[in-house]
Amino acid sequence: MKASRLLCGLLTPLLLTALPTQAEDISVAVAANFTAPMKLIAAEFEKDSGHKVLAAFGSTGKFYAQIKNGAPFEILLAADDETPARLVKENAAASGSQFTYAIGKLLLWSAKPGYVDAAGAVLKKGDFAHLSVADPKLAPYGAAGVETLKAVGAYEAAAPRIVTAENITQAYQFISSGNAELGFVALSQVLKDGKMEGSSWLVPANLYTPIRQDAVMLAPAKGKAAAQALMRFLKGDKARAIIKSFGYELS
């Protein structure tokens, strides 16, 4: 009997040590352009860690407003680097946690094969009724689209035909449904297994401000091991391979 108690006493600390860290839920605000890669990254992370990712997808500008109004997001994967930096400055995010997880590429795209030429000259021809652009005040890809129109001298003529989408996902939906003949989207939304449907022009990077997409840990993540684990995972080989497969550049 004494031996049994002694054995239990010795085993209990060992068993407690061997138990994995308790699984946690992580609330993540994700820029809409990063929807597809994040779903794959979350699945791999959950498989490896046991933690669960609760992701919301939308425009970076709207997420900023929600975070400032007390939304309990723990991590922000923004479509720019300015919003995370602003949140750090305002003490709404952890200093030193910000890093670039992807560099986005802008695409002028149409669901119609042969409609968009390889040089983007269709913007100057003006034979379209609707041009889909994400809200430039809220979505960095929308701002990049407007920059591109101005850089090629097509903004004035195109402005009356612009259909403003809430975010880059809605911009894509307007085009894919045929409600807009063409529009600006993220390359990652159209590139699937290295192939693209429809027709497109990969906008030269010198025509718009670089889209550096930064991640940052928000105030509610303080002391949470799961949030820290996801931030590390995003920097790892598995996540980076997924990100690259969707056409993003890596820093």
Residues 96 and 111 both lie in one domain:
no
pLDDT at 7: 42
Q: Is the residue at 119 inside a domain?
A: yes
Q: Is the residue at 12 inside a domain?
A: no
Q: Is the residue at 8 inside a domain?
A: no
Of 6-15, 29-38, 141-150, 162-171, the least confident:
6-15
Residues 133 and 185 both lie in one domain:
yes
pLDDT at 5: 52
Report the CATH number that the domain containing residue 63 is assigned in CATH: 3.40.190.10
**Percentage of the chain lying above the pLDDT 70 cut:** 92
Residues 93 and 150 both lie in one domain:
no
Q: Is the residue at 18 inside a domain?
A: no
Q: Using CA atoms, how far apart are residues 94 and 172, in angstroms rounded to an integer?
A: 33
Cα dihedral 115, 120, 125, 126, rounded to 10, equals: 80
**CA distances from residue 18 to 4, 6, 9, 13, 15 in whole angstroms, order as listed:** 21, 19, 15, 9, 5
Provide the number of structural domains found in the chain.
2
pLDDT tens digits, 73-108: 999 999 999 999 999 999 999 999 999 999 999 999
3-state secondary structure of 248: coil
Residues 120 and 237 both lie in one domain:
no
pLDDT at 36: 94
How many CA atoms lie less than 13 Å away from 70 in the CB half-sphere?
Answer: 0
Mean pLDDT score across all residues of the chain: 92
pLDDT at 6: 44
For the record, the structure tokens of 132 come out as 């889909």
pLDDT at 133: 98
Question: What is the span of the domain harbouring residue 144?
Answer: 106-202
pLDDT tens digits, 131-186: 999 999 999 999 999 999 999 999 999 999 999 999 999 999 999 999 999 999 99
